[in-house]
Amino acid sequence: MVQGLSINTNVGAMVALEQLNLTNKKLQSTQLRITTGLKVNGPKDDAATFQIATRLRGDIAGTKAVGGALANGDSTINVAISGGKAIANLLIEMKAKIVQANQAGLDTASRTALENDFTALRDQLETIVATAEFNSTNLIFQSASELKVLSTVDGSTISVSAQKMDTTTLTIQASTLAVNTGGFRCQYDDEGRCIEVNPCYEDDRTSPHDDCLSENQEHAWSSPIFLSH
């Protein structure tokens, strides 16, 4: 009967086993690097390099977070700017309606149409103000507050002031084109300066001169309502 050899006493087998274990270890390390894309995957690989790499990954994550905050702030501001431009265009149209209503001899139906257009433009302005928001932030709403945008990884912020553009802030929430039949008190230029005063209301009078009234005009001039610029 032949006695079998033990691996513990077989030098060749022990060397082969050691080489196999070393190959498997290198294979696992290589597969892990391929999977993660990292040369150092833990403190076992290289403790110092792993510590430095971890800190750098943290800095990169913080920088990305700041970039996201800046992008959100930029979008919020762009939405507010777009809303402001739309409101500016509406105010121009509203002024045009006021100027049209200043035309002498305008009939009641035309004045009513202008009044309806003016009111519709004002309602449209309120709709723009209410919907000009991004990420639940509105910089032109009546209750708008200052926007703070994260700008650095150490917590510094950029402050953006709100610009309220609602009808109440613009003092046009109750404006109408209701006028008297005798004309307007003042006509304004593009810079808001009075360039023509109704002669019946010179000297900043709140009621017309007596010589501007006739028997048929008395009622029409009794409670005049004037357009503001």
Q: Is the pLDDT of residue 208 over 80?
A: no
Q: State pTM to two decimals.
A: 0.59
Q: Is the pLDDT of residue 156 over 50?
A: yes
Predicted local confidence at residue 137, as pLDDT: 93
Q: Which structural domains are found in the chain, ordered by start?
A: 59-165 (1.20.1330.10), 179-229 (no CATH)
Which is nearest to 134 in space by CA: 71, 225, 60?
Answer: 71
Q: Among 71-75, 105-109, 194-198, which stretch is predicted with the lowest mean pLDDT? A: 194-198
Predicted local confidence at residue 11, as pLDDT: 74
Q: Is the pLDDT of residue 148 over 70?
A: yes
Highest average pLDDT, of 19-33, 159-173, 194-208, comes from 159-173
Rounded mean pLDDT of the chain?
A: 76
Predicted local confidence at residue 91, as pLDDT: 93
Predicted local confidence at residue 219, as pLDDT: 34
